[in-house]
Amino acid sequence: MRVLAWAGAPLPLFRPSRRDVRQVREQLVSRTKIKCALDAHERPLHCHHEKTIVIDDRVAFVGGIDLTSESGDRFDASHHPARASVGWHDVCARIEGPAVADVADHFNMRWHEVTGERLADATPPIRGGEVEVQIVRTVPERIYKATRNGDFGILESYLRAFEGAQRFIYLENQFLWSPEIASVLVEKLSRPPSADFRIVMLLPAKPATGTDDTRGVLGELVEADADAGRILACTIYARSGARADPIYVHAKVGIVDDAWITIGSANLNEHSLFNDTEMNLVSHDAALALETRLRLWAEHLELAVDELRRDPIEVIDQLWHPIGRDQLARREAGLPLTHRLVRLPHVSKRSGRALGPLSGLLVDG
C-alpha cells in the first residue's frame, strides 16, 4: 500500500503543520508494510487538496471526503441525525473501467516525483460500463517536472458547462469566491437563456474561511438577478426538537440541465482552480446527472426520490424557495425548524471581503 499525503503547512502557525503530518506518517507506517510519502511540491501558501483512492487499478474513488478528522468529524449519514455538534455533508464517486487509469497515472506521476520510485502503468479493464466519464484536474504550473505548464481542466469544465446552461445550474460547494465563476454566473443572471432559468446553491452556513467573500459573490448574483427570483442559496441543519445544529457542506458538485455533472475535490475559489492540486470527474451522461440530482434533492428536501421526478424548475419554485424562505424566517424568529433546508441571508460585509483569501491561505478543507 502506498499513501501520498500533503507534507503540511511549512509555518507552524497553520494546521496541519509539517511536524504534525510527520508524526501521523510515523504512526501509520510503524510495524506495517505501508509506504507513506509526504509531498512538499507546492506553491507557497497552498496545498495538495485532492482526495483520491485507487485499488488494484480496478476501482478508484474521487470526491471531497478527507480521510481525516482534522477540522471536523466526517462520519455522518444522508439523514443527518442531530448529534449536538456540526454535521457533515460530502460527496464522493466510485469509478470502475478505463477512467481508473487516469486517476492512477496522476498518483503515479506525483509518487515518482516525490520518491523517485517509478510505478508500473495502470492496467484497468479495457471495457467499462455505459457511463462515459472524464478525469479533470488542477495542477499548478512549475510544480512537477511532468506538468511544467500546469493543468486547469476543472476550471475549463465548469466555465464551459455554465456558459452553455439553458435551464438551471445546481451547485454544492464549500466556497464561492472565484472571480471567473462569479463572472459567468452574473452573466447568466443578467442575460438569462430562458424565462425560467434558475441557479440553486447549497453552501455552508459558516465556511471555514472566506465567509465574507462568499457572501460578497452572493450579493453580486442577487444584484444581477434584480429580484427576478432566479437565484437561491441555501444551507442545511440537523434538527432535534428546538435545537438545530449546522451541517457543514463540504461537497463539491455541479449539475447543469441534467446533462452535465462534476464531482470532486475542487472548491469554487482560486485555491482549487489555480493553486492547489485537485481532481474531479466530469460526465455528460444525462441519467447519471439526473439520478444524482434527485438523490441529493431528496436528501435536502426530506422527500422520496419519486416525489421529485417532475420538472426541476417546478421543484425549485414550489419546494426549494418556499421551504428555504420559511425556515430562514423561523430561525430569525427563534422558532424550531420544521425542515432541514434553510435559505442563506444574502448579506455581505463588503469591508471584509479580503479576509477569506488571507485567512485561508493554506488549507480550505
CATH of the domain at 215: 3.30.870.10
Distance, in Å, from the CA atom of 295 to the CA atom of 306, rounded to the nearest integer, reads 10
Q: Does 135 map to a domain?
A: yes
CA distances to 82, 268, 347, 348 from 360, in Å? 28, 13, 20, 18
Q: pLDDT tens digits for 99-144?
A: 999 999 999 999 999 999 999 999 877 777 899 999 999 999 999 9
350: pLDDT strictly greater than 80: no
Q: How confident is the model at residue 355 (pLDDT cuts 50, 70, 90)?
A: very low
Close Cβ partners of 66 (under 8 Å, ≥ 6 residues apart): 51, 74, 365
Q: Does 25 map to a domain?
A: no
CB 174 within 8 A of CB 206: no
Q: pLDDT tens digits for 15-44?
A: 789 999 999 999 999 999 999 999 999 988
Q: Does 125 map to a domain?
A: no
Close Cβ partners of 57 (under 8 Å, ≥ 6 residues apart): 100, 101, 104, 122, 123, 124
357: pLDDT strictly greater than 70: no
Residue 144 sits in which domain range?
Answer: 64-92+131-359
Number of domains in the chain: 1
Q: Does 147 map to a domain?
A: yes
Q: Provide the mean pLDDT of the chain.
A: 92
Q: Does 106 map to a domain?
A: no
Q: Does 160 map to a domain?
A: yes
Distance, in Å, from the CA atom of 341 to the CA atom of 343, rounded to the nearest integer, reads 7
Find, among 61, 36, 41, 38, the residue nearest to 51 by Cα.
61
What would the grid cell of residue 112 be? 515518482
Q: Does 345 map to a domain?
A: yes
Q: Does 117 map to a domain?
A: no
